[in-house]
Amino acid sequence: MSRKSLFLIVAAAVLLAVPAVLLAIPAADFEGRPTFEAGKSFGAYIWHDDAGFHIRYNTKEKERHFHGKICTDKILKLDGYHVADNPKNKVEISADKKCIEISLYTDKALNGFDWFADGKKMEFRLKVDEDSDLKATAIFYGAKGTNPATSPFTMDR
């Protein structure tokens, strides 16, 4: 094996081992609401504005179970609830006040909540149905509706 081939293999291994935390998305990219219409698309829409952070889950076909966590290194505060009327829905702050624990069932409509956070990083671990990570192509953030490179992903402030 040539030195060049060995170098390429090592470089690829290092790049694959880089955690998502090092590829954090700048907080400024989350500014502004992405475009979406209730019941017309599938995914999670995340943004920040003067009223804090927002997430809306949208479905277009059948009931889906969105769950997971949003965590930071500083205390979180839930602000407004836009949770659909379903007794199975739950959005709670963890005992250590550093994670929002999400379990929302959405059927051909929007579901979501608003929150405030002061941490330097915010990690999004969003899942759908069984225990599958929500694909990055189904996550849209900021006014441009950009998809993160990976799921889970991190926002850096």
Residue 84 falls within a domain, yes or no? Answer: yes
Instruction: Count how many domains the chain has.
Output: 1
Q: Parallel, antiparallel, or unpaired for β 110-117 and 63-72?
A: unpaired
* 121 found inside a domain: yes
pLDDT tens-digit profile of 38-79?
A: 888 999 999 999 999 999 999 987 889 999 999 998 877 887
115, 79 Cβ separation under 8 angstroms: yes
**Mean pLDDT for the chain overall:** 85
Give the tokens for residue 117: 């956070």
117 located within any domain:
yes
Q: What pTM value is reported for the model?
A: 0.83
Q: Could you tell me the CATH number of the domain that includes residue 40? A: 2.60.40
Report if residue 6 sits inside a domain: no
Closest CA to 110 of 78, 134, 130, 85: 85
In a domain, 144, yes or no: yes
State the residue range of the domain holding 60. Answer: 25-156
